[in-house]
């Protein structure tokens, strides 16, 4: 009988007990061939290829998996693919490492108590799924099906979402909304009635001028965008980069504006001011498509470059010159909306300001600005109607955050701790591919929420930190070992891509399609999964658009006929999906909720003396915490470093390469130390590290204790009142120089 725990202890995945601890499964090291040769392809080698789309990040580039003589060899981009244009990025090229990583989750695990200690027991799939089915039926009876919440990140989540809906819950969230790009979605939705989407509808390849505000394209390797940035630069595009750090992109830019962190909105308002004052905006576009221009003009009247200078530290002449540069190339000027934009809690307003700036430049719907994306229409496999939940999490969320366009992961976490009503409890979490311990700010609260659950199921590839808190851990097959739903994503042309298994699943891992179908049967929900198997499901869907699974296995990517123009035809009437039908420079929607109808700059907290603002970012070698144990990618980078300006280093007597601990404004001390990297490439008032390091799971030996986890130092969260985003950049750190020895020595 399933036991229940009053309190969950964190379990290191290595501590497995009971059956099946002996290692089975094929040999792990498949990359290194035996041939003593400099020529890796020899006559008579059997090369086989199969189509996939990459799952190492959310960009989902299509490619071909190559095996040589039955062994995994390499993954290369699909030439026809709009996401990759035949070239995978660093991480995708090393994607086979996800498959070969010997520290993957291998077998289903259930939390049990043995001799007073909580441990994981390796169990069969049947036992694991019986356990979950039983628990969920008890939870349904006691608290209603709405008490199930699902956290998703990644393609395989689609099956789990179906299961959640079939069970009777609408509580499905992706941390990527409130922890990442949600403010951008809300800001653009409020302005244009539409979102930027993923992959972004940015027309970088055709831009003449691109403005990056804190976005570090090139360090974040969003493949299509980075490739387009290459084209843009090769064509002589002028780049304006606003960043407290001399990012890689800043190194390619004509103008680098090393802004004081947290003041970006002031700069954007000053730019808007200059465009209006000097009448550099696109008058025809503004008249034709926008509403609220006069109010905007009035609102920014005092936001002069001279006003912005002491706030931002950017010289008025530079603000004017860069505004004029933008106007010179408009509408082929793209003020990039960024992607990870949860910084200071006013992020929706900053995104709004970016949206407004683009509208003044006339770039939305124009070549070199934002194109009109096209998405293939592929019918769903028919299934019965989902039961109607008696309450919906998104409605609860929207009572607090009116423009939460999807349930907010951190809010669900908070509601798990403190339910809004006795009959609106969250009692079970399904966590798919989403390491909530590293991705949700305020770790203590996440753990507190977990203690309130009756069931926590984690579906993952790696023994990520969240697994240590689970009641059941389900080891999923990697993207190279499974089918998934079709990739149907927006782009310049409607296009679909297939992921097919290149290899048999290793160990006792299974694809989510298989797991969920089996679980649904145990839960009496089979009618929602009426297909035979993944192949039947995919073939049915593909046949509706005149293709088939067989065809897609041959071609991998299929481009469908264009659905219309990519840009607004000159002078065309356009109706926007906003209440006014126009681009809303002035937002009555926001006004109605008591928010600023036009963005207003308000100062943010400053670091206390001796503290530095902690800024986080991406590395081209990793997809945050997801890949930091990948054996191929760790060879490029196995720990993060702390960027420190030489002046700061001098003040503290720091040397490059030295390990330091950090402590934040709330006295939170880092678990693991980080190496100092002294560099001129950063301001003196902040320090910088790449997110995703400092894992505390010993089982992941290549990432355990390597570098620092910035998330544990984020104890102050500035919540965006409009959409619930969790701003994480008002955290300040100081150096703790005692006992900062690296892991190996500790």
Contact positions vs ligand SF4 (CB under 6 A): 54, 56-57, 59-61, 84, 88-89, 91-92, 221-223, 623
The answer to whether the CB of 428 falls within 8 A of the CB of 147 is: yes
Order of strands, edge to edge, in the sheet holding 71-77? Answer: 47-53, 62-68, 71-77
Residue 88 vs 174, nearer CB to other proteins: 88
Helices 316-329 and 347-361: crossing angle, nearest 10°?
50
Applying CB under 8 A, among 197, 258, 389, 617 the residue interacting with other proteins is 258
**What's the min distance (Å) between Cβ of 92 and other proteins?**
9
- Of the candidate spans 3-11, 68-76, 390-398, 548-556, the one that interacts with other proteins by CB under 8 A turns out to be 68-76
Binds 54: which of ligand SF4, other proteins, none (CB < 5-8 Å by kind): ligand SF4
- Nearer Cβ to other proteins, position 259 or 372? 259
Q: Provide the mask over 658-687, with x wherever binding to other proteins is found by CB under 8 A and - wherever it is not.
A: ---------------------xxxxx----
Handedness of CA 300, 301, 305, 308 (dihedral sign): negative
Determine how many CB atoms are found less than 10 A away from the CB of residue 559.
17
Q: Which 3-state string (H, E, C) describes 626-660?
A: HCCCCCCHHHCCCCCEEEECHHHHHHHCCCCCCEE
| Out of 17, 138, 233, 560, the residue judged to bind other proteins by CB under 8 A | 233
Site residues for other proteins, 302-341, by CB under 8 A, read: none
Q: Does 58 bind other proteins (CB under 8 A)?
A: no
Question: Under DSSP, is residue 428 helix (H, G, I), strand (E, B) or coil?
Answer: strand
- Contact between residue 729 and residue 615 where contact means Cβ atoms under 8 Å apart: yes
Convert 25-75 into a string of H (helix), E (strand) and C (coil): CCCCCCCCCCCCCCCCCCCCCCEEEEEEECCCCCCCCEEEEEEECCEEEEE
Residue 37 contacts by C-beta under 8 Å, 6 or more apart in sequence?
none
Of 118, 124, 131, 102, residue with least CA distance to 17: 118
The answer to whether 445 and 712 are in contact (CB under 8 A) is: no
Q: Which residue is nearest to ligand SF4 (CB)?
A: 92
- Chain-centre distance for alpha carbon 529: 28
Shorter beta-carbon distance to other proteins: residue 444 or 635: 635
Site pattern 180..219 for other proteins (x: CB under 8 A): --------------------------------------xx
Site string for other proteins, 609-628 (x = CB under 8 A): -----------xx-------
Q: Is 612 helix (H, G, I), strand (E, B) or coil?
A: strand
| Part of the chain binding other proteins (CB under 8 A), chosen from 69-77, 490-498, 510-518, 722-730 | 69-77
- Residue closer to other proteins (CB basis): 258 or 345: 258
Chosen from other proteins, ligand SF4, none, partner binding at 59 (C-beta under 5 to 8 Å by type): ligand SF4
- Give min distance, CB of 224 to ligand SF4, in A: 8
234 near other proteins, rule: CB under 8 A: yes
Per CB under 8 A, 406 contacts other proteins = no
Element (H, E) at 550: helix 549-555
Q: 3-state class of 698 per DSSP?
A: coil
Q: Which is nearer to other proteins, 66 or 297 (CB)?
A: 66
What's the chain's length in residues?
Answer: 746
Task: Please tell me whether residue 33 binds other proteins under the rule CB under 8 A.
Answer: yes
Does residue 303 contact residue 269 with C-beta atoms inside 8 Å? Answer: yes
Residue 40 interacting with other proteins (CB under 8 A): yes
Q: Which of ligand SF4, other proteins, none does residue 248 bind (CB under 5 to 8 Å by kind)?
A: other proteins
Please answer whether residues 221 and 90 qualify as being in contact, where contact means their C-beta atoms are separated by less than 8 angstroms.
yes
Please tell me the count of residues contacting other proteins according to CB under 8 A: 53
Q: What angle do CA 167, 172, 175 make, to 5 degrees?
A: 150
Interaction pattern, residues 568-607, with other proteins; x per rule: CB under 8 A: ----------------------------------------
Enumerate binding residues for other proteins (CB under 8 A).
31-33, 36-41, 73-77, 86-90, 93-94, 96, 218-219, 221, 223, 226-227, 229-231, 233-234, 246, 248, 250-252, 256, 258, 620-621, 631-633, 635-636, 645, 679-683
């Amino acid at each position: 009988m399933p036991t229940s725990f009053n309190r969950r202890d964190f379990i290191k995945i290595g501590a497995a007990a009971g059956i099946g601890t002996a290692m089975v499964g094929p040999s792990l090291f498949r990359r290194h061939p035996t041939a003593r040769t400099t020529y890796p392809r020899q006559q008579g080698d059997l090369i086989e290829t199969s189509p996939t789309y990459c799952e190492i990040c959310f960009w989902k580039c299509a490619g071909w998996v190559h095996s040589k003589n039955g062994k995994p060899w390499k993954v290369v981009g699909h030439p026809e693919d709009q996401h990759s244009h035949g070239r995978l990025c660093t991480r995708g090229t090393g994607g086979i490492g996800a498959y070969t990583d010997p520290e993957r989750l291998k077998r289903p695990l259930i939390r049990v108590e043995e001799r007073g200690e909580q441990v994981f027991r390796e169990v069969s799939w049947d036992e694991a799924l019986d356990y979950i089915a039983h628990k969920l039926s008890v939870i349904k009876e006691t608290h209603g099906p709405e008490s199930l919440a699902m956290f998703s990140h990644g393609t395989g989540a689609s099956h789990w979402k179906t299961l959640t809906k079939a069970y009777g819950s609408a509580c499905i969230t992706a941390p990527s909304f409130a922890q990442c790009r949600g403010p951008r979605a809300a800001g653009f939705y409020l302005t244009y009635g539409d979102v930027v989407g993923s992959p972004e509808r940015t027309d970088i390849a055709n831009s003449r001028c691109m403005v990056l505000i804190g976005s570090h394209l090139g360090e974040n390797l969003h493949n299509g965008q980075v490739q387009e940035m290459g084209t843009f630069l090769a064509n002589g595009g002028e780049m304006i980069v606003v960043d407290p750090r001399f990012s890689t992109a800043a190194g390619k830019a004509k103008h680098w504006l090393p802004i004081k962190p947290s003041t970006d909105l002031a700069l954007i308002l000053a730019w808007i001011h200059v465009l209006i004052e000097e009448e550099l905006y696109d008058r025809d576009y503004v008249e034709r498509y926008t509403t609220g221009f006069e109010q905007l003009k009035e609102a920014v009247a005092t936001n002069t470059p001279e006003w912005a200078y002491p706030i931002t530290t950017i010289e008025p002449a530079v603000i004017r010159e860069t505004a004029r540069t933008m106007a010179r190339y408009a509408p082929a000027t793209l003020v990039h909306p960024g992607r990870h934009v949860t910084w200071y809690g006013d992020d929706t307003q900053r995104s709004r300001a970016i949206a407004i700036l683009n509208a003044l430049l006339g770039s939305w719907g124009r070549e070199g600005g934002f194109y009109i994306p096209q998405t293939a229409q592929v019918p769903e496999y028919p299934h019965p109607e989902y039961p109607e939940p008696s309450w919906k999490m998104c409605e609860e969320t929207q009572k607090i955050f009116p423009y939460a366009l999807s349930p907010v992961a951190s809010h669900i976490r908070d509601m798990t701790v403190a339910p809004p009503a006795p009959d609106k409890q969250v009692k079970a979490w399904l966590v798919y591919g989403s390491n909530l311990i590293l991705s949700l700010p305020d770790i203590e609260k996440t753990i507190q929420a977990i203690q309130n659950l009756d069931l926590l199921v984690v579906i993952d590839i790696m023994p990520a930190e969240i697994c240590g808190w689970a009641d059941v851990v389900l080891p999923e097959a990697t993207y190279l070992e499974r089918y998934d739903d079709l990739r149907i994503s927006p782009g310049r042309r409607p296009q679909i891509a297939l992921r097919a298994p290149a290899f048999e699943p290793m160990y006792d891992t299974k694809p989510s399609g298989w797991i969920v179908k089996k679980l649904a049967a145990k839960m009496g929900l089979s009618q929602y999964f009426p297909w035979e198997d993944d192949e039947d499901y995919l073939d049915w869907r593909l046949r509706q658009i005149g293709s088939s699974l067989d065809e897609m296995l041959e071609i991998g990517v299929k481009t469908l006929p264009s659905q219309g123009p990519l840009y607004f035809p000159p002078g065309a009437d356009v109706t926007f999906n906003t209440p006014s039908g126009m681009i809303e420079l002035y937002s009555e929607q926001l006004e109605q909720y008591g928010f600023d109808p036009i963005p207003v700059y308000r100062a943010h907290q400053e670091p206390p003396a001796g503290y530095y603002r902690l800024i986080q970012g991406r590395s081209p070698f990793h997809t945050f915490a997801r890949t930091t144990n990948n054996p191929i990618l760790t060879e490029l980078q196995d720990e993060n470093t702390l960027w420190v300006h030489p002046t700061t280093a001098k003040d503290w007597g720091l040397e490059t390469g030295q390990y330091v601990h950090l402590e934040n404004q709330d006295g939170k001390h880092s678990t693991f130390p980080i190496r100092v990297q002294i560099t001129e490439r950063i301001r003196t008032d902040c320090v910088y590290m790449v997110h995703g390091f400092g894992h505390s799971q010993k089982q992941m030996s290549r990432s355990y204790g390597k570098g620092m986890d910035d998330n544990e130092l984020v104890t102050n969260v500035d919540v965006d009142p409009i959409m619930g985003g969790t701003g994480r950049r008002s955290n300040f750190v100081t150096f703790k120089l005692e006992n900062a020895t690296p892991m190996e020595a500790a």
